[in-house]
Amino acid sequence: MEVFNTASKVILTCNRRLSPYLEQEVVDLGFNVVRSFNTGLELHASVNDCIKLNLHLRTASQVLYELKSFRARDPEELYNNLVDIAWEEIIPFDSYFTVTSNVHNETITTPLFANVKVKDAIVDRIKAKKGLRPDSGPDSHKCVVHLHWIEERAEIFLDTSGETLAKHSYRKHPGKAPMLEALASSTIFATGWDKKTPFINPMCGSGTLAIEAALIAQNRKPGLQRMNYSFMHFIGYNEEVFFEERRILKEVTDKKNLPVIIASDISAEAVEIARLNARTAGVEHIIQFEVCDFEKTTVPEENGVIMFNPEYGERLGVHNTLEATYKRIGDFMKQKCRGYRGYIFTGNPDLAKKIGLRASRRIEFFNGKLDCRLLQYELYEGSKESK
């Protein structure tokens, strides 16, 4: 079964509400989107195409290549359909694989049982054809197979990503309550930042927003940070395709005419963590780090974007203290950030009211399971009327 050069249904998954930003990335890469939904996109592509997608995408989670879709009313029917697939032409008998799944079927009480049926079908097929069986377990560092089984409809995929793409492999020091890299990229895309004017990130924490802004400004793709994907372990993988894509990534990286990016935090420890993460990402030299209260952050006298991701009051901080902090953020933007577009990412609408400014946009996101908003503020240089 030649999957690397054969086009099939491909599902790109992402966190909820990120699909518009993922779709724009995919279209910019030259792919046609078959359909879009809340947690991903559908394309028609080969596994070699999936290599390109894995290396380029900032907002995706997994790239799934469909092998077969079929009707399965119960585990026995699932097994019988799966054992007919030529797994011996996909997974090396001396390799290792893991099974992940999204299952909702009345005959299954736990997805783990469905995973075992998938594993049994793969192992039985390869052992019957090759006389040997591959090892299997929970780690996703080699071959990954994904089952999507809802009611009586089942689909089996090769997960070409393995470890999630939503983490961009540079955050070795997470800090407190870090924002997922794919979410950070999406919020920056949502601002419409032009990658030329300043990007200011007070209260930067572990630095994810500032680092993602620097990576976006450089057009430096996540694939330059990672050297292991699931697609590397399937039969038919040609490493020349991978290294050619990496060569392209290096060529399109822009190291000239970069914007001013400033990240500040009152915690010297947080700034040091952010600096270490930026160094790992290869963008430490692009970001100006400052240890100070957010009100003392340098704001260049030109138009740009200033973005805050303050605490929400869910797990960290004291609510009364945060009310005062949100008010100070509003005062700071109004008084010292004129000409900028201001953004505050928060999961607490009550605290957002303390900002004291009227949001021109409220862009919906999720941070984990928490319903959040990216609030946009037009910080006019004079009065709104004179603008």
Q: pLDDT for 11-70, tens place per residue?
A: 999 999 999 999 999 999 999 999 999 999 999 999 999 999 999 999 999 999 999 999
CB distance 353 to 362 below 8 Å: no
Q: What does the DSSP assignment read for 28-85?
A: HTTPPPSEEETTEEEEEE-HHHHHHHHHH-SS-SEEEEEEEEEE-SSHHHHHHHHHTS
CB distance 274 to 206 below 8 Å: yes
Helix and strand counts by DSSP (H, E) for the chain: 10, 15
**pLDDT in the model for residue 387:** 39
Residue 232 DSSP label: G
Angle at 307 between CA 261 and CA 167, to 5 degrees: 80
Q: Residue written as tokens 């870090």?
A: 178
Secondary structure (3-state) at 19:
helix
CB distance 170 to 211 below 8 Å: yes
CB distance 314 to 346 below 8 Å: no
158, burial (CB in 10 Å: exposed 0-12, middle 13-18, buried 19+): buried
CB distance 185 to 212 below 8 Å: yes
How many angstroms separate the CA atoms of 219 and 279, rounded? 17
Angle at 143 between CA 141 and CA 149, to 5 degrees: 115
The residues near 52 (Cβ < 8 Å, ≥ 6 apart) are 29, 245
Which residue ranges form the domains of the chain, and what is each CATH number?
A: 8-159 (3.30.2130.30), 181-220+254-378 (3.40.50.150)
Q: What is the dihedral of CA 279, 200, 217, 208, to 10 degrees?
A: 50
In terms of residues, how long is the chain?
387
How many angstroms separate the CA atoms of 226 and 170, rounded? 9
235, burial (CB in 10 Å: exposed 0-12, middle 13-18, buried 19+): middle
CB distance 215 to 280 below 8 Å: no
Where do runs of H (alpha helix) occur along 234-303? 239-252, 268-281
**pLDDT in the model for residue 312:** 84
Q: pLDDT for 316-346, tens place per residue?
A: 445 678 999 999 999 999 999 999 999 999 9
Q: Which residues in the chain come in under a pLDDT of 70?
A: 177, 314-319, 382-387
Q: pLDDT for 360-373, tens place per residue?
A: 999 999 999 999 99
Tokens of 124: 């039985």
Q: Where do the DSSP E strands lie in 122-179? A: 135-136, 143-150, 153-159
Q: List, in sequence order, every residue forming a beta bridge with 341; answer none if it has no partner.
A: 305, 378
Secondary structure (3-state) at 378:
strand
How many angstroms separate the CA atoms of 307 and 59, rounded? 19
Q: Computed over its alpha carbons, how large is the radius of gyration of the chain?
A: 23
Where do runs of H (alpha helix) occur along the chain? 19-28, 47-56, 75-83, 111-130, 181-191, 208-218, 239-252, 268-281, 319-336, 349-352
CA-to-CA dists, residue 158 to 19, 161, 212, 285, angstroms: 21, 9, 29, 38
pTM above 0.75, yes or no: yes
**pLDDT in the model for residue 220:** 97
**pLDDT in the model for residue 135:** 96
**pLDDT in the model for residue 381:** 74
**pLDDT in the model for residue 383:** 39
